[in-house]
């Protein structure tokens, strides 16, 4: 039977050039579906990678209990002072705990590509913020001075949004700020932020002495547990304490899911169109070869061999479509920089990532289209009337 | 089974088609025996049932009633799979329009029936070459059907029909699409296969000149054989 299937499959494949137009249309429509799906997957993967890659397991993030994001959180100065004395937090050479009280403010920005207004995050930080972000480097200029209207901006901000060039002055809220430095964190979400002195933000944005979040360097593997246990028993603290990695993972999942919930249904709807195309092509293929198939069956080839070989042709066309779609997706999307609204209602800059897993999903989808589009024509091929051998 | 027994025995063979509520009889109560080594030409007007009869003999259509026995075994009651196996073991088909696979070379077309047998690759190549030599187009083995004339294509079809050494060749208007010269060459070829290789040949044709090559001429009209002729 294998010899029969193999011979008929080769026959089918060799006859594809006789139906170039329809075969190409099938390949193209499947490629388009895969391309759209891959675009969404690449976006979701890129966004997830940027956020998930941002967090450290050695840093704790503290937000007001129940707050989903820094934007709707609040931590008082008294609470911050208490946290500085908490167990489980690492200390520097001077014996001071490594802690940064931080503020998170939304400011206006202008996207370079579309020249549209967007929300950007302005983060007020304390000096320990630099220690708390692994791999942070000032790549141009210098760190802002404490108490000044100076800013440093992430490399993604500089790349994607207008007006933040080194040395330029920028109007944010009621104040004018000067960009004195550019920093890199190796592609993490922090590069989509603008940083200034926490005290200056409190003052210019009327935040009093309060903060919105606190970051602390954990003292070893047991640090988080010690900190959480201590906070549980501290009646003046009402905080959620998790690692920074967990924090960003939870932030990533919401937006990533939205992207995927949009991407998959759209790809599936388009897949129905491609399915019709594959169906048509395979029907045409069987119709065009009715006499050939009948002749082969008259010679003694089994209907099952005709069924499998037709299905293999459909799967092959779909597979080629899947590969083409994946290749175009990789060439067009992989690594391109984009920004979208993150969990804090501010822009997060990320790079599209066409991963092996996404390619796999695309190919599987293509094969499903091939299978569903090819199965009925394949049954038809298996049931071609033998009397068709006499058709002219 | 001894060769003194008929190759085919047809008993009370009837075939009718339904078109809506209408029943169209093609033939009914047909009895016939065909001996080993026969070369029969079946003639008759269009619609007389010649091709329908050939289809019953080749197991590509089943009778409405009656029996078809081949070499002592009934074939009219075989299932699709068994019938396909029977065809590959016993029958070589030759069609009016050659029915070659356009994307395969002459040799690859001829090889097709051997793919259904346990014959190994190198042996297949030898048998294909021999079959093509027998029909006189060994030098066209690598040509595609589109590169061959009608007569050459029909020779390839004959090579395909004989390569697996079937007992019977069933030919449906084998010269219907050929000029006179090519037709005569093909008919001489069939005659040679009958006389030299002992192949039983049953040929349906409109052409009285073609029928002359057969040992026996049968005339079918309105579902009945009305006249016998030929060299016998």
The predicted-structure confidence for A51-69, as pLDDT tens digits, reads as follows 666 778 899 999 999 887 8
**Structural domain boundaries in chain B:** 8-230
Residues A116 and A190 in one domain: yes
Residue B77 per-residue DSSP state:
T
Give the minimum alpha-carbon distance from A5 to chain B in angstroms, rounded to a whole number: 10
pLDDT confidence of residue B45:
86
**Domain final residue pick, A237, A270, A286:** A237
Task: Determine the residue among A16, A23, A299 to mutate to test chain B binding: the one whose Cβ has the most chain B Cβ atoms within 10 Å.
Answer: A299
Kindly report the average pLDDT of chain A as a whole number: 86
pLDDT (tens digit per residue) in B87-111: 999 999 999 899 998 888 999 999 9
> What residues of chain B lie within 8 A of the CB of A7, using their CB?
112, 115
B130 in reach of chain A (CB within 8 A): no
Same domain for A204 and A78, yes or no, is yes
In this prediction, residue A295 carries a pLDDT of 93
Instruction: Give chain A's length.
Output: 392
Give which of B89, B93, B112, B162 to mutate to test A binding, by max A Cβ within 10 Å. Answer: B112
Q: Is the pLDDT of residue B123 over 70?
A: yes
Last residue of one domain, picked from the residues A213, A237, A261: A237
Contact: A7, B96; criterion CB under 8 Å = no
Any domain includes A368:
yes
Q: Is the domain of A218 the same as that of A318?
A: no
In this structure, what are the phi and psi dihedrals at residue A218, rounded to the nearest 5 degrees?
-80, 150
Taking CA B22 as the corner, what is the angle to CA B20 and CA B25, rounded to the nearest 5 degrees? Answer: 125
Arithmetic mean of pLDDT, B196-210: 92
DSSP calls for A240-281: EEEEHHHHHHHHHHHHHHHHHHHHHHHHHHHHHHHHHHHHHH
Question: Which strand (E) or helix (H) includes residue B96?
Answer: none
Give B216 or A271, the one with higher predicted confidence. Answer: B216
Q: Which of A14, A300, A390 sits opposite B103 (nearest CB)?
A: A14
Inter-chain touch B80–A303, beta carbons under 8 Å:
yes
The answer to whether the Cβ–Cβ distance between B88 and A7 falls below 8 Å is no
A296/B93 touch (CB, cutoff 8 Å), yes or no: no
Altogether, the residues listed in chain B come to a count of 232
- Split at pLDDT 50, 70, 90, the class of B1 is very low
Tens of pLDDT, residue by residue over A256-275, are 777 777 777 877 777 777 77
Is residue B221 helix, strand or coil?
strand
Tell me what ipTM this predicted complex has: 0.90
B8-230 to CATH, choices 3.30.365.10, 3.20.20.120, 3.40.50.300, 3.50.30.40: 3.40.50.300
Query: What pLDDT band is residue A111 in, cutting at 50, 70 and 90?
Result: confident
Asked if residue A371 and residue A303 are part of one domain, the reply reads yes
Asked whether residue A279 is domain-assigned, the answer is yes
A274 part of a folded domain: yes
More confident residue, A252 or B120: B120
Dihedral class, residue A276 (left if φ above 0, else alpha if ψ from -120 to 50, else beta): alpha
Residue from A344, A340, A254, A343 nearest A71 by CA: A344
The SS3 assignment for A183 reads strand
Predicted pLDDT at A246? 86
User: Is residue B166 a contact partner of residue B89, using CB atoms and an 8 Å limit?
Assistant: yes
Which of B63, B103, B157 is the best mutation test for A, with the most CBs of A within 10 A? B103
What is the predicted pLDDT for the residue at A265? 80
CA A359 – CA A365 distance, rounded (Å)? 10
DSSP A93-107: TTS-B-EEEEEEEEE
The reported pLDDT for the residue numbered B168 is 95
B172/A299 Cβ within 8 A = no
Mean pLDDT of A118-133: 90
Half-sphere exposure in the Cβ direction for A392 (13 Å, CA) = 3
- pLDDT value for B127: 95
Judgement on whether residues A344 and A215 belong to the same structural domain of the protein: no
Q: pLDDT class for A210, splitting at 50, 70, 90?
A: very high
Report the residue of B81, B86, B116, B169 to disrupt the A interface, i.e. the one with the largest count of A CBs within 10 Å.
B116
Q: Which of A4, A390, A392 sits opposite B51 (nearest CB)?
A: A390
Interface of A with B (CB under 8 A): 3-4, 7, 11, 14-15, 18, 291-292, 295-303, 386-387, 389-390, 392
Task: Report pLDDT digits (tens) over A134-161.
Answer: 888 999 999 999 889 999 999 989 988 9
pLDDT exceeds cutoff 50 at B188: yes
| pLDDT tens readout for residues A280-300 | 777 777 887 888 889 999 999
In a domain, A215, yes or no: yes
- pLDDT level of residue B221 (50, 70, 90 thresholds): confident
Number of domains in chain A: 2
**Chain B nearest-CA residue for A383:** B80
Query: Average pLDDT, stretch A219-224?
Result: 91
**Within this chain, do residues A330 and A291 fall inside the same structural domain, yes or no?**
yes
Claim to verify: residue A229 and residue A272 sit in the same structural domain = no
Q: Does residue A340 register a pLDDT over 70?
A: no
A223 and A330 housed in the same domain: no
Q: Name chain A contacts of B172, Cβ cutoff 8 Å.
A: 390
> Cα dist. B99→A69, A389, B64 in Å?
73, 7, 27
Distance CA B3, CA A319 (A): 55
Print the domain residue range for A138.
Answer: 66-237
Inside any domain, residue A245: no
Among A63-67, A92-96, B20-24, the least confident range = B20-24
């Amino acid at each position: 039977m294998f010899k029969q299937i193999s011979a008929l499959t080769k026959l089918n494949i060799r006859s594809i050039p006789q139906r170039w137009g329809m075969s190409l249309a099938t390949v193209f429509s499947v490629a388009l579906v895969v391309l759209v799906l891959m675009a969404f997957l690449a976006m979701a993967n890129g966004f997830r990678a940027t956020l998930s890659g941002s967090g450290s397991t050695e840093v704790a993030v503290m937000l007001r209990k129940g707050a989903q994001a820094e934007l709707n959180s609040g931590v008082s100065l008294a609470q911050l002072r208490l946290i500085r004395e908490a167990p489980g937090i690492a200390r520097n050479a001077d014996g001071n705990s490594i802690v940064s009280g931080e503020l998170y403010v939304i400011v206006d920005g202008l996207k370079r590509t579309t020249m549209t207004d967007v929300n950007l995050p302005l983060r007020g930080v304390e000096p320990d913020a630099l220690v708390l972000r692994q791999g942070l480097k000032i790549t141009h200029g210098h760190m802002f001075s404490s108490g000044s209207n100076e800013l440093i901006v992430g490399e993604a901000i500089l790349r994607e949004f207008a007006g933040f060039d080194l040395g330029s002055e920028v109007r944010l809220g009621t104040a004018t700020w000067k960009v004195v430095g550019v920093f890199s964190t190796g592609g993490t979400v922090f590069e989509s932020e603008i940083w200034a002195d926490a005290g200056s933000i409190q003052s210019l944005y009327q935040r009093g002495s309060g903060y919105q979040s606190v970051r602390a360097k954990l003292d070893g593997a047991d640090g988080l547990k010690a900190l959480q246990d201590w906070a549980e028993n501290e009646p003046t603290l009402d905080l959620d304490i998790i690692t920074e990695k967990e924090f960003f993972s939870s932030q990533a999942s919401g937006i990533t899911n939205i992207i995927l919930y949009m991407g998959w249904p759209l790809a599936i709807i388009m897949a129905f169109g491609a399915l019709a195309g594959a169906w048509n092509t395979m029907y045409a293929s069987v119709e065009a070869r009715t006499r050939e198939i009948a002749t082969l069956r008259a010679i003694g080839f089994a209907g099952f061999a005709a069924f499998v070989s037709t299905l293999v042709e459909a799967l092959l066309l779909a597979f080629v479509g899947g590969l083409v779609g994946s290749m175009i997706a990789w060439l067009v999307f992989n690594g391109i920089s984009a920004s979208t609204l993150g969990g804090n209602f501010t822009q997060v800059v990320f790079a599209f990532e066409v991963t092996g897993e996404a390619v796999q999903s695309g190919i599987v989808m293509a094969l499903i289209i091939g299978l569903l589009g090819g199965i009925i024509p394949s049954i038809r091929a298996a049931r071609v009337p033998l009397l068709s051998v006499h058709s002219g | 089974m001894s060769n003194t027994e008929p190759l085919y025995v047809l008993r009370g063979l009837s075939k009718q088609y339904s078109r809506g509520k209408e029943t169209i009889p093609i033939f009914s109560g047909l009895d016939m025996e065909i001996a080993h080594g026969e070369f029969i030409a079946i003639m008759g007007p269009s619609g007389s049932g010649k091709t329908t009869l050939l289809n019953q003999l080749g197991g590509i259509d089943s009778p409405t009633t009656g029996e078809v026995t081949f070499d002592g075994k009934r074939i009219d009651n075989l299932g699709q799979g068994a019938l396909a196996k029977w065809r590959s073991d016993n029958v070589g088909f030759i069609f009016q329009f050659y029915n070659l696979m356009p994307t395969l070379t002459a040799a690859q077309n001829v090889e097709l029936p051997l793919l259904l047998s346990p014959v190994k690759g190198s042996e297949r190549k030898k048998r294909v070459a021999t079959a093509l030599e027998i029909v006189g187009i060994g030098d066209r083995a690598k040509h595609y059907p589109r590169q061959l004339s009608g007569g050459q294509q029909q020779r390839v079809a004959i090579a395909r029909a004989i390569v697996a050494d079937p007992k019977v060749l069933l030919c449906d208007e084998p010269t219907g699409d050929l000029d006179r010269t090519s037709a005569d060459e093909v008919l001489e070829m069939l005659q040679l296969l009958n006389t030299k290789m002992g192949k039983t040949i049953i040929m349906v044709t409109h052409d009285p000149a073609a029928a002359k090559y057969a040992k026996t001429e049968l005339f079918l009209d309105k579902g009945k054989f009305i006249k016998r002729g030929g060299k016998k």
